[in-house]
Amino acid sequence: MQAIKYLLLLSLWWTPRILCILLALFLSFFSFDVFGLGTNAWKTALAFIMHNIPTIIIVLVLIFSWKRSWLGAICFTIIGIVFFFLMPGKSTSLILVLPIIGIGVLFYLNWLFRAGIKKAREAYAGEDQ
């Protein structure tokens, strides 16, 4: 029973981080449409960087919140709200906003259960030795 609890806590540790990486990959996928515009290399590179600004923000927030779950909870919730208000179609923007806010909620749960997650990580690290 204790092993199942530890596995659930460890999955709570990894789930927001993996989902954030998948979200960054998903967002960056849409930036590849600039290569079919037929412009010169500099304009294409600039357009590619401009399209990847949300991805860069998501990755930077993930880097800073990797060990600080409270920071991830705050930042991803704020990013989700900002994305909602910046997107033109409010109903279609929920497809992107809800996963971002969901990642923020998972980081918040990660922060709430940080003591149990630490015990689970120590328990599984002790089994390897």
Tens-level pLDDT at each residue, the chain (129 residues): 677 777 787 888 899 999 999 999 998 998 888 887 777 888 888 888 998 998 999 999 999 999 899 999 999 999 999 988 888 877 777 888 999 999 999 999 999 988 888 887 777 776 654
pTM of the model: 0.83
Decide: 112 and 12 in contact? Cβ < 8 Å: no
What is the distance between the alpha carbons of residues 58 and 39, in angstroms, rounded to a whole number?
Answer: 28
By C-alpha distance, which of 31, 3, 107, 28 is closest to 62?
107
